[in-house]
Amino acid sequence: MDLVQLQRQFVDYKTSLYHEGFLDEQFTQLQELQDENNPDFVVEVVSLFFEDSERLLNELARALEQQNIDYKRIDAHVHQLKGSSSSIGAQRVQKVCIAFRNYCEEQNVEGCLKCLQQVRHEYSLVKTKLESLFQLEQQILTAGGSFPM
């Protein structure tokens, strides 16, 4: 694929991610913060998000397996996940976290389990999509292109 085709594919893909609500305005902000001094800034922040989220998701699963569920603890973890997803613009993950916190407040274990499943799903979707986006970006750089286009 030539550079022009790659660039078009990149733009289309990125647009679709916003359109489908995977990413929001905040992701754009991240990109605006990136510069020649920090050319990997977005990838670095997103990698931190991946690490942090995986840790939180494991904690959540563990907490929901307990005999006596500690809803405060669960809420604290979801609050963190909500915050970090909001900070990178992972809108769909953030939205599930809001619902999740409501179930925590109600101490509704069914609701919490359902949300955990949903948030896991949304997380893995956005992870895959961001990785594809970064891959496209890398291909463009390799083909001699540059950003912003």
Minimal distance, residue 75 CB to other proteins, in Å: 11
Task: For other proteins, give the closer residue by CB, 86 or 108.
Answer: 86
Does position 88 interact with other proteins (CB under 8 A)? The reply is yes
Binding part of the chain for other proteins, among 1-9, 29-37, 108-116, 128-136 by CB under 8 A, reads 29-37
**β-pair partners for 90:** 23
Radius of gyration, CA atoms only, the chain: 18
Task: For the CB of residue 142, give the shortest distance to other proteins in the complex, in Å.
Answer: 26
What is the number of residues in the chain? Answer: 149
Nearer to other proteins, 20 or 44 (CB): 44
Residue 102 near other proteins by CB under 8 A: no
d(CA 14, CA 7): 11
CA distance 33 to 125: 24
Closest CA to 122 of 55, 53, 31: 53
Q: How far apart are CA 119 and CA 110, in angstroms?
A: 14
Give contact residues for other proteins (rule: CB under 8 A): 26, 29-30, 32-33, 35, 38, 41, 44-45, 48-49, 52, 76, 79-80, 82-84, 86-88
